[in-house]
Amino acid sequence: MKLIRHIEQIDHTLAGCAITLGNFDGVHRGHAEIISRLLQWAGRVGGPAVVFTFDPHPVRLLRPELAPPPLTWTQRKAELLQELGVDCMIAWPTDRHLLSLTYREFFQQIMLDQLQVAAMVEGPNFYFGRDREGNIDRLMQLCDESGIACEIVQPEVCDDELISSTRIRNLIHEGDVAAARTMLTRPYRIRGMVVHGAGRGHELGFPTANLDAIDTLIPAMGVYAGLASVQAELRPAAIHVGPSPTFGVVRPQVEVHVMDFADVMYGEVLEVDFLEQLRGVQQFNSIDELKTQLALDVTRAGDIGDGFLKQISDQSK
């Protein structure tokens, strides 16, 4: 899949594309349904299936104090969309000029002049142009005037509620990564730089990679079963998010114990999937009590991680 991050990279190969615009944060099941329809339209018009996103999200420029932490970084979003069959993702550079365009100017200059779009697919809550003045009705009118096919896809529902990035973000914020996983196309993932820690995990028999510079939403404090992407392979992992009260450490940290892997990864970026929360952060009365609980956590996390990997393997056969 082609990832375009600069306007200069757009060329004639995208002419006649089927396109969908949006943030696609997290790439959830509702997004997947839009992409499914997008692929159908790409086949009908004989052009590539293109996802158009904004980088950064416009709210980060307009009202940065209201901007929520993202669920996915740009490259990860592109990977998830590629898995769904998208041919190209455009991460359009967001600037003040772009945000000043009226909905008609945006449609004419970018959709028609720049991309020569043949079909558009959107969800029902789509807005575009200055002050979000462009809505679905106006989009359909513009498409009709321009001879462009347009389809509006109804949102997906889970447990009688609409699936949305906001709903998923709230679940992750609360630590319910298992519920969030049922709405995402892949388990929730973060990434961070592996930095030196105090070395307590190694002393306890459970060495951990300490993550810093995490650029997406960090789940609620607690201990989680998850997966770590190491050397292009997913391995079961136990993840601790929060302080270490047993040692008097109050600053929250993200520590990852990767099963059956002892190589030092300092200075490297580690990506981690969250599968299920095992427990909250606890203060233990002794080191031995802590070690006993850690052994239980690691065993349970390993079982959950192995089970998930087996499920993936079975599905791919």
86-121 per-position pLDDT tens digit? 999 999 999 999 999 999 999 999 999 999 999 999
Residues of the chain with CATH 3.40.50.620: 2-158
pLDDT of residue 148: 98
Q: Can you give the pLDDT at residue 203?
A: 79
Instruction: Give the pLDDT score at 56.
Output: 86
pLDDT at 316: 80
CA triple 278-279-285, angle to 5 deg: 130
Q: Is 185 helix (H, G, I), strand (E, B) or coil?
A: coil
Task: Tell me what pLDDT residue 204 has.
Answer: 84
Q: What is the pLDDT along the chain (317 residues), one digit of tens a residue?
A: 999 998 889 999 999 999 999 999 999 999 999 999 999 999 999 999 999 999 988 888 888 888 899 999 999 999 999 999 999 999 999 999 999 999 999 999 999 999 999 999 999 999 999 999 999 999 999 999 999 999 999 999 999 999 999 999 999 999 999 999 999 999 999 999 999 987 777 778 889 999 999 999 999 999 999 999 998 899 999 999 999 888 887 788 999 999 988 777 899 999 999 999 999 999 999 999 999 999 999 999 999 999 999 999 998 87
Residue 56's CB: how many other CB atoms inside 10 A? Answer: 17
Residue by residue, DSSP assigns 88-152 as EEEEEEP-HHHHHS-HHHHIIIIIIIIT--SEEEE-TT--BSGGG-B-HHHHHHHHHHHT-EEEE
> What's the topology of domain 2-158?
Rossmann fold (3.40.50)
All CATH 2.40.30.30 domain ranges of the chain, comma separated, are: 187-316
Just give the CATH number of 187-316.
Answer: 2.40.30.30
Residues 6+ apart with CB under 8 A from 291: 204, 205
Percent of the chain with pLDDT over 70: 100
